[in-house]
Amino acid sequence: MNNKTVLVIQAHPDDTEIFCSGTLALLKEKSFKIVIATMTPGGMGGVTHDEAGTAEIRKKEAALAAEVLEADYFCLEQRDGYVFDNTEARVKVTALIRKVKADIVLTHLPFDYHPDHRATSSIVEAGTILATLPNVPTDETPVKATPLLYYTSPFGFTDNMGRGIPDPSFFIDITSTFEKKKIMLAFHNSQKQVMKLMFKMDDFFGDMSDSDKRLGHMAGVKYAEAFWQNTGAGFLKEPLIQKTLRDFIPVANTIQGDKK
């Protein structure tokens, strides 16, 4: 029986559903405990309510989506649009990693297109590295090992300037969990109007499906999600997601770090 925990920390409600919920559903099938957190409640992502009202609506949407995977949902209550890497934010991330005893942490790529996503990536990287250290001030006990750190794909598969990005460490074929992903995403109904306003996106849910289809095309399957593992000096390098989901890594892709 697997007793490992995967913690996703992304900037806004709906990011996790868009970027990695198909893979989370597969990890859930492998008995991982799933925890979803957002740095902000997404208060700026509304057109019918003010910031506080929108935040309440979006936290409810995120919690309902998380329930599909029997996942706990946490909001770290930073302000949407104004996420900064600072001491308070890092401590909150470390505290959450300790509270849920995360073995794996997922966040945005450091060169994602969205400023809040980039700040979140930096905060989460630092908060993860600090999670074992007893001098870092939280009420929770330090974790025994630094969690493995993975990054999800930026929307559009480009950096913040629209340029190409390095190849992912691996793709995951999410064709079998794609319907579950759509169910999770559908809870974020408030975002339809916002996406229309911001990106002239008339079909938010359809465009998200197209994105998975595009990644699937790159991977040689119907629908896929893409991941990078941080194998830098600050992190352990066990390819745990790759090993656990090896049957879902398209054959064209190598399992980085796994010399089987």
Q: Which of 5, 250, 31, 177 is nearest to 104 (CA)?
A: 5
Nearer to Zn ion, 7 or 130 (CB): 7
Report in angstroms how near the CB of residue 12 gets to Zn ion at its nearest: 4
Q: CB of 62: closest distance to Zn ion in angstroms?
A: 12
**Binding segment (CB under 5 A) for Zn ion, from list 11-19, 57-65, 79-87, 124-132:** 11-19
Residue the block writes with tokens 């997404």: 42
- What tokens appear for 150 in the block? 């993975």
Shortest Å distance, C-beta 236 to Zn ion: 27
Give, in degrees to the nearest 5, the angle at Cα 211 between 208 and 37: 60
Q: Does 11 interact with Zn ion (rule: CB under 5 A)?
A: yes
Element at 129 (helix H, strand E): helix 115-129
Residue 108 touching Zn ion (CB under 5 A): no
Answer whether 113's CB lies under 8 Å from 160's CB. yes
Task: Please report how close the Cβ of residue 155 comes to Zn ion at its closest, in angstroms.
Answer: 8
Please name the helix (run of DSSP H) or strand (run of DSSP E) that holds residue 106, with its range, or none. strand 104-108
Shortest approach of Zn ion to residue 52 CB, angstroms?
Answer: 19
The closest residue (CB) to Zn ion is 12
Nearest to residue 172, comparing CAs of 242, 105, 110, 112?
242
Residue 89 binds Zn ion (CB under 5 A): no
14 to 43: interface string for Zn ion, x by CB under 5 A: -x----------------------------
Instruction: Candidates 7-15, 50-58, 221-229, 238-246: pick the segment binding Zn ion (CB under 5 A).
Output: 7-15
In a 13 Å sphere around the CA of 178, the CA atoms on its Cβ side amount to 21
Number of residues that bind Zn ion (CB under 5 A): 3
**Smallest distance, Å, CB 207 to Zn ion?**
14
Instruction: Please tell me whether residue 12 binds Zn ion under the rule CB under 5 A.
Output: yes
Q: Which two tokens stand for residue 74?
A: 């946490």
CA distances from 140 to 3, 51, 88, 94, 97 (A): 19, 31, 15, 9, 9
Residues in contact with Zn ion by CB under 5 A are 11-12, 15
